A and B are shown apart, each in its own frame.
Chain A
Amino acid sequence: MSEHSPDPPEGGPLLRRVRRLIVNTSMGDGPDTLHLQERLEAIERRLDGLTRQIQMMDTSEKQRSQALQDALATLEKQISRAGREQLKANSLTEAQIEQVAAILEELRTDNSRRDLEITLLREQHAAAQKTARLEVIQSILPALDGLDEALRSGQQLLKQPLTPPPATLFERMRSRAVTNQNTNPILQEALSAWLIGLTFVRQRLLDVLATEGVQPIAAQGQPFDPQLHIVMDVMPATPEFPPNTIAAELRRGYLVGNRVLRHAEVVVSSTEN
């Protein structure tokens, strides 16, 4: 039976098997055989159609795959381009951040420098204010010295004893020629009241100076201190004023805090002369 087998059949394994089956089972050209062959040919045509469809589908699938690959390649290019742009953007952003940080640091440095300058200016301003106030106070001190001198003279005048009024014409003429004589008790009382008022004025001025931190330097009876006093004269030491003791204050001195605004001019007792 194998010698009657036809040429190698076309189609797939199934068709080859069917064709072999037809050849083996049909020994002639009967109607059944013809019918089977027609059906077989129809099947073959259909298979060819299917094969073409499959080939077309393969072609379409290849085209779609190619399109997808092209799209993928395009996407990859776009992604790569976007990546490069992102890298550039990141680099630019980092550079901008560094610039901003540098500017911020510079601004902070400028700010701290300006704070320091402002502090220095404030200190200079405060020092200038202090100097100006001290200059004003120093210009007031001579007026205070004048008050002290007026009080000292008035006190000396009050200490003088009252003299009886002149009885004769010659004595009256003589009393006019002699000064610094207290002859009128009413005048003496008026002088006393005037000196008390002057003392109040002086004390008020000292209070105003005290609000500015100005304090008189203690001198009378104190030991001599070259940091506070200037020796204008020397007198022999006495039991009341032992050596190196201030016996008299010629001009009052003043302190502002620990700073000497004006030294006190004093007379100091000593045994060296």
Chain B
Amino acid sequence: MLTDQHKPFFSKRSIAYEVIIGIDLGTTFSATAVVRDGVPHIVPQGDERIMPSVVGFTPQGALLVGTPARNQYVLHPDRTVRM
């Protein structure tokens, strides 16, 4: 029996029901989740369920969020913000 758990996130049906996203903005890591059928589901970012709470810009001006921003923090602390 196919259940809603087998359906991908952000399907047309989900969009029709106005998906509400919860964000846990932690001091070290952050996570986003949606509630479906009364059960919270973490929305993965690539392969990671949580991401470092770091945001930065490369010298070329590209926005980095999460792990890539953390990776450059030592090199570009003036271009990177941690919680």
Identify the A interface with B (CB < 8 A).
113, 116-117, 120, 224, 226-227, 229-234, 244, 259, 263, 268, 270, 272
Q: Give CA–CA (A270, B67) in the complex, Å.
A: 21
Cβ contacts under 8 Å, A259 to chain B: 46-47
Query: B43 to nearest A CB, angstroms?
Result: 16
Identify the B interface with A (CB < 8 A).
1-2, 6, 46-47, 58-59, 64, 67-76, 78
Do A233 and B68 touch (CB < 8 A)?
A: no
Cβ contacts under 8 Å, A116 to chain B: 2
Cβ contacts under 8 Å, A272 to chain B: 76, 78
Other-chain residue from A117, A227, A232 in contact with B68 (beta carbon distance below 8 A): A227
Cβ contacts under 8 Å, A224 to chain B: 72, 75
Query: B33 to nearest A CB, angstroms?
Result: 20
Do B73 and A231 touch (CB < 8 A)?
A: yes
Q: Give CA–CA (A7, B14) in the complex, Å.
A: 117
For the complex of A and B, the 9 pairs showing the least CB-CB separation, nearest first, are: A226-B68, A231-B74, A231-B75, A226-B71, A226-B72, A230-B71, A268-B75, A120-B6, A227-B68
Do A229 and B2 touch (CB < 8 A)?
A: no
Do B71 and A263 touch (CB < 8 A)?
A: yes
Q: Give CA–CA (A156, B36) in the complex, Å.
A: 58
Query: A64 to nearest B CB, angstroms?
Result: 74
Cβ contacts under 8 Å, A263 to chain B: 67, 71
Cβ contacts under 8 Å, B47 to chain A: 259
